[in-house]
């Protein structure tokens, strides 16, 4: 077994494979399919200060090698999470990372503050990049000053590992990564979904109730990989890479591009146990390439 442990801020993960927010529920939904304790971490659903109903149905459309979603942060609010879900999670032996979303600066601060008090939650992933709600933080994520402001304020109240999740719907993701690094983010994670759209030619209607939605899956992998590579070269904090990862080879590509850990999202829908296969495959790859540790391949892309 190669050494798969990896560090993001103060958080040490037993392996660098995390399931992505919004694609793995609270982990419990997957108990029949895999031992979630073997995962490096689980990013739970986007959590907001208040309960949200999300967007109307239809919320999903299939696209070439991917899908669009317009869930719109449906969740029962942070208090429900704390009182009802959190206690159930504490029996597991993996890192639960709460994905925090909001419409206003105050939402983010208040939600983060509440999560700060949960001893079993070592990190939050601050989602400043959800394209699916009018005020889903995407406005924060596409403007470097607003991104910096929300991170700065959350940093004041949140004292554990703070991962900031970046939007790919921008001209210059590097400048946003640098801005949030500058005000105290412990890590950045990327990419969130790309804003897309699908139409039913026969009915002449959009396939999503919200017209546009977030694109994910293998189709976005080349864009995600490029952004991870650009950001990893620009910032000193760890980069958590994601976007279309469906197998160990995909994950390796993100490590080579500079990711310290990776997240598996949409692929969970097709194969619920895929994350364990990724962990196993990464280990096999390291052994085959005579690497002792995952660190040997992080950022190891040979570009001459």
Partner 1 sequence: MKKIIGDLVVSENIPLKNNHFLLKLTQAEPLPHILPGQFVQLKIDDTPSVFLRRTFSINYVDRKKNEIWLLIQVVGDGTRSLSNCKIGDSLNLIYPLGNSFSMPTSSQSRLLLVGGGVGVAPLLFLGAILAEKGFSPSFLLGARNIDGLIELEKFQQFGDVYIATEDGSAGEIGFVTDHSILKNSFDKIYTCGPTPMMQAISQFAENQFIDCEVSLENKMACGIGACLCCVTQTHQGNQCVCTDGPVFNTKELAWQI
Ligand X SMILES: Cc1cc2nc3c(=O)[nH]c(=O)nc-3n(C[C@H](O)[C@H](O)[C@H](O)COP(=O)(O)O)c2cc1C
Helix extents (H) in 61-104: 78-80, 86-89
DSSP string, 50-61: S-B--PPSP-EE
Stretch that binds a second copy, among 13-21, 121-129, 158-166, 252-260 (CB under 8 A): 252-260
Beta strand 239-242 with 261-264 is parallel
Stretch that binds ligand X, among 8-16, 203-211, 261-269, 289-297 (CB under 6 A): 261-269
Run of H or E including 163: strand 161-165
Radius of gyration of the chain measured on its C-alpha atoms: 18
Among 206, 244, 258, 281, binds ligand X (CB under 6 A): 244
CB of 237 to partner 1, least distance (A): 29
- 203 contact, one of ligand X, partner 1, a second copy, none, CB 5-8 Å limit per kind: a second copy
- 30 contact, one of a second copy, partner 1, ligand X, none, CB 5-8 Å limit per kind: partner 1
Strand order through the sheet with 66-69: 60-63, 66-69, 212-216, 194-197
Cis upstream peptide for 191 (omega within 30°): yes
For residue 235, CA distances in Å to 114, 177, 242, 291 come to 29, 7, 17, 25
Torsion, Cα 70 276 126 151, to 10 degrees, reads -140
74 belongs to the binding site for partner 1 (CB under 8 A): yes
Stretch that binds partner 1, among 49-57, 88-96, 120-128, 172-180 (CB under 8 A): 49-57
Choose among 206, 203, 213: nearest CA to 66.
213
| Stretch 56-85 residues interacting with ligand X (CB under 6 A) | 69, 71, 73
222 belongs to the binding site for partner 1 (CB under 8 A): no
- 133 contact, one of partner 1, a second copy, ligand X, none, CB 5-8 Å limit per kind: none
Residues designated as active site:
130
| Stretch 60-89 residues interacting with a second copy (CB under 8 A) | 63-66, 68
275 belongs to the binding site for partner 1 (CB under 8 A): no
Stretch that binds partner 1, among 173-181, 250-258, 269-277, 295-303 (CB under 8 A): 269-277
Choose among 267, 171, 216, 204: nearest CA to 70.
216
Residues that bind partner 1 (CB under 8 A): 22-25, 29-30, 32-33, 45, 53-54, 56-67, 69, 71, 74, 217, 266, 268-273
């Amino acid at each position: 077994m190669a050494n798969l442990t990896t560090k993001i801020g103060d958080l040490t993960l037993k392996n660098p494979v995390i399931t992505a927010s919004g694609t793995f529920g609270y982990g419990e939904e997957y108990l029949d399919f895999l031992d979630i304790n073997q995962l490096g971490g689980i990013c739970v659903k986007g959590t907001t200060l208040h309960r949200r109903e999300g967007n109307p149905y239809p919320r999903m459309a299939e696209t070439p090698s991917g899908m669009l979603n317009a869930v719109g942060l449906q969740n029962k609010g942070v208090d429900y999470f704390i009182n009802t879900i959190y206690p159930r999670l504490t029996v597991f032996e993996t890192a639960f990372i709460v994905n925090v979303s909001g419409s206003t600066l105050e939402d983010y601060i208040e939600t983060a503050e509440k999560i700060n008090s949960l001893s079993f939650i070592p990190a939050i992933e601050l989602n400043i990049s959800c394209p699916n709600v009018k005020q889903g933080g995407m406005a924060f994520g596409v403007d470097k000053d607003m991104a910096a402001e929300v991170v700065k304020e959350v940093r004041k109240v949140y004292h554990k590992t703070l991962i900031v999740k970046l939007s790919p719907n921008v001209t210059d993701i590097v400048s946003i990564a640098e801005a949030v690094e500058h005000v105290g983010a412990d890590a950045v994670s990327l990419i969130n979904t790309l804003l897309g759209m699908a139409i039913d030619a026969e009915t002449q209607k959009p396939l999503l109730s919200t017209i546009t939605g977030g694109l994910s899956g293998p189709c976005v992998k080349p864009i995600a990989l490029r952004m991870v590579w650009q950001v990893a070269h620009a910032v000193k904090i760890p980069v958590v890479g994601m976007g279309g990862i469906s197998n160990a080879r995909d994950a390796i590509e993100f490590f080579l591009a500079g990711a310290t850990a990776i997240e598996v999202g949409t692929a969970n829908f097709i194969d619920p146990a895929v994350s364990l296969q990724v962990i196993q495959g990464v280990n096999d790859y390291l052994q085959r390439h005579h690497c002792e540790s995952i660190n040997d391949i992080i950022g190891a892309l040979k570009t001459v």
